[in-house]
Amino acid sequence: MNRDVFIFSKGRLHRKNNTLYFADEHGKSQPLPVEQTENLHLFGQIDFNTSLLHILTQHDVRLHVYNYYGYYDGTYYPRNSQVSGYTKVQQSAHYLDLSKRLYLAKAFIQGAVHHMQRNLRKHGEESRSYVDTMASRAALLEEASSIAQVMGIEGQCRQIYYEGLPILVRNNFTWEHRSKRPPHNPLNALISFGNGLMYTTVVSELYKTALDPSISYLHEPSSKRFSLSLDVAEIFKPFLVDPLIFSLVNNRRIQEKHFKNDEGIVHLNDEGRKIFLAAYDEKMKSTFKHRKLNRMVSYRYLIRLESYKLIKHIIGDEKYKPFKAWW
């Protein structure tokens, strides 16, 4: 299995012959196994040139760039070999037909709500009121006749979920409300950082299929973003990212000392990012027995399977049902 490589130091990425090297700011150089790499994540200030991009293209490696605060900036993609004109036409048709678009938009929210309720249910009676209230809001999806209504219901469900967050986080991390731009406390910073990682993971998995990541159904397609990745990530953020955050905080692997506050913008420091990324990468590589496939699959591959299910739906092979953890 190919791996993800994370670089935090300042330095330079360069190609020498057919090998990829990273030289840090002190001039110390080390080779990177490009033939075993799937994604390169750059968190430090890294210089590189088109020669590097050529070798990444040859080995089908995606290059993800993050800003000073550790939040996703953009991606370099090698030429996509998974191209299907028929799939793209059908994908567009499902966006243009409101009833078809609504079906998929509602499905993404149903998957997200299932996993938010799953997180809360682990705390029994203490969280029952949140679970029941969320269920009553989610039931309104059946009658929703516009994307705006669907988004409104999603917002209500997520607000209820966030109100129950103090039950899920047992340490000294305070929680008032969700703040994104910028995160105003450590817990919000963790959610934003984790959600950004999930977005890049979904982008990478969509890239391996014939889906166009810019044609979406829940989120409005627009320039400068891969909005289908936002759609699919809705299912997996509460399933994979949130439990990881709760575990890191409740087991004190992530503490207050792992954050910085730069003029009101709270974000993980380098040590905190390394802890989070190591745990995230381990989770993505770990496997479970898939009930339908009857074999072991990784959580990363599970996201690609969701993409294949979307393809089957839009080309008329099999009706799409969002992934819902059954355990």
Residues 117 and 221 in one domain: yes
179 domain residue, yes or no: yes
14 annotated among ligand-binding-site residues: no
Residues 177 and 102 in one domain: yes
Which CATH number do you get for residue 245? 1.20.120.920
**59-89 residue pLDDT tens:** 888 898 998 888 888 888 877 667 788 999 9
Q: What is the pLDDT of residue 80?
A: 66
Domain boundary among 76, 95, 119: 76
Residues 253 and 274 in one domain: yes
SS3 of residue 264 by DSSP: coil
Quickly tell me which residue has 């993050």 as its tokens: 66
Residues 65 and 155 in one domain: no
Q: Residue 312 and residue 302: Cα distance in Å, rounded?
A: 15
265 domain residue, yes or no: yes
220 annotated among ligand-binding-site residues: no
pTM of the predicted model as reported, rounded to 2 decimal places = 0.86
Q: Which two tokens stand for residue 72?
A: 């996703």
90 domain residue, yes or no: yes
Q: What is the pLDDT of residue 1?
A: 60
Q: Residue 286 and residue 279: Cα distance in Å, rounded?
A: 11
9 domain residue, yes or no: yes
**Nearest alpha-carbon partner for 314 in 46, 89, 27, 144:** 89
Residues 120 and 159 in one domain: yes
Residues 237 and 207 in one domain: yes
Beta strand residue intervals within the chain, DSSP E: 3-7, 11-16, 19-24, 29-32, 37-42, 46-47, 62-66, 72-76, 259-262, 265-268, 287-290, 295-298
H/E element holding 227?
A: helix 227-236
Q: What is the pLDDT of residue 81?
A: 62
Which CATH number do you get for residue 14? 3.100.10.20
**302-311 residue pLDDT tens:** 999 999 999 9
* pLDDT above 90 as % of the chain: 63
Structure-model confidence comparison of residues 51 and 325, the more confident one: 325
260 domain residue, yes or no: yes
CA quadruple 124, 127, 131, 136: dihedral positive or negative? positive
165 domain residue, yes or no: yes
Residues 211 and 308 in one domain: yes
Residues 71 and 133 in one domain: no
Instruction: Quote the number of domains for the chain.
Output: 2
Residues 94 and 172 in one domain: yes
324 domain residue, yes or no: no
Domain boundary among 28, 43, 76: 76
25 annotated among ligand-binding-site residues: no
322 domain residue, yes or no: no
Residues 63 and 99 in one domain: no
Residues 157 and 233 in one domain: yes
Domain boundary among 15, 47, 76: 76
Structure-model confidence comparison of residues 178 and 139, the more confident one: 139
Q: What are the residue ranges of helices labelled H in 12-83?
A: 50-58
Domain of residue 307, residue span: 85-314
Residues 16 and 117 in one domain: no
